[in-house]
Amino acid sequence: MGSIDNETTPKPHVAFLSSPGMGHITPLFELAIRLVTQHDFQVSFLVITTAFTPAQSKYLNANPHPDLHIVDLPPVDMSGLVSDDMELGTRLSLIVQESIRPFRSILSELKGPKLRALVIDIFCTGVFEICNELAIPIYSFFTASGVLFTLSLYLPSMDREVEGDQYVETVKVPGCNPIRIQDLQEPVWNRNSDDYKWYLFHCRRLFMATGIFINTWEDLEPVSLKAVKHEPFFLNIPTPPVHPIGPLVKQIEPAVMVKYEKEMIAWLDKQPKDSVLYVSFGSGGTLTREQLTELAWGLELSRQRFIMVVRKPSDYAAATFFNVGSESDDPRTYLPDGFIERTKGVGLVVSSWAPQVSGIYIF
């Protein structure tokens, strides 16, 4: 028999779809990069352009690869459907719902070999019916912790069994450690909120996936991962095969981060070992002006060494989620007067972003 010509054998073609937000896009895109660079795949990374931020654009286009194709979904007019004060999960779900209306034609127009699979995040479960009709397997990528993952699998059962508007007791997920209600975000326990209803909708559809990737690993969360594999509750649902593939983090920082790196490393090198507190609320975390002032005063009065990542305050909890990276503010305009000067040498204030990849900081 003749040998197979590898040059004419088509590469496996996989598509990705993430909801907006760096916390969702980053792990999916890092998995896409690894499939292309380490496993010789072709990837079509589908981008929801509605509510797209400059930070997302810089990240996705920083390191082009011939087998990783960025495919923009047409933007949609959300002016009559969402508002700035809308709960984040509800807003994300509505944006995805409207953006995937032409999804069938988008998939049919993708260049390259026949699509083998689609990888989505938790807010993109609305594509299951379309992909089922097209016989395209879907893998769900759960980008949060294993603890939240097991709770999310348990949530539909808990919703059926527990009465009342809110969960008021400690949640006992089968085979897992108890979780205090006060340690959970409101969308998981306030059953009257639209966020809860949307999150429950997506959790109920996790079982439709061919498999589930999760951004964690065995040594980090052994209890949760053992429960999913061996606890009768999860075996009887039944839960799709779960694949811990973490940690997936950004391998390369955007260029804007590099200029901060030397300054931060030099500052950290002057501090005693294990002495620095890192304060950050994520790519979409936003504090009100009052909260930010209280945080700044607390850090100053504590005399604790710190690095604090700050963004312009807002009364809307997720205000920066949809515009992060779009502006470079002067922290002096919204931190207490003289705060930066008084804490010089003890603290370091960084506007918008801090580099986290090239240096593994030991505070």
- Reply yes or no on whether 329 is catalytic: no
- Reply yes or no on whether 13 is catalytic: no
Beta strands across the sheet bearing 68-73: 68-73, 42-48, 13-18, 115-120, 138-142, 211-214, 242-244
The structure tokens 């539909």 sit at 156
> Residue 90 and residue 92: Cα distance in Å, rounded?
5
Among residues 24, 69, 195, 202, which one is catalytic?
A: 24
Let me know if 180 is exposed, middle or buried by CB neighbors in 10 A (0-12, 13-18, 19+): exposed
Among residues 13, 69, 121, 202, which one is catalytic?
A: 121
Instruction: Provide the token pair at 243.
Output: 């694949």
Active site residues: 24, 121
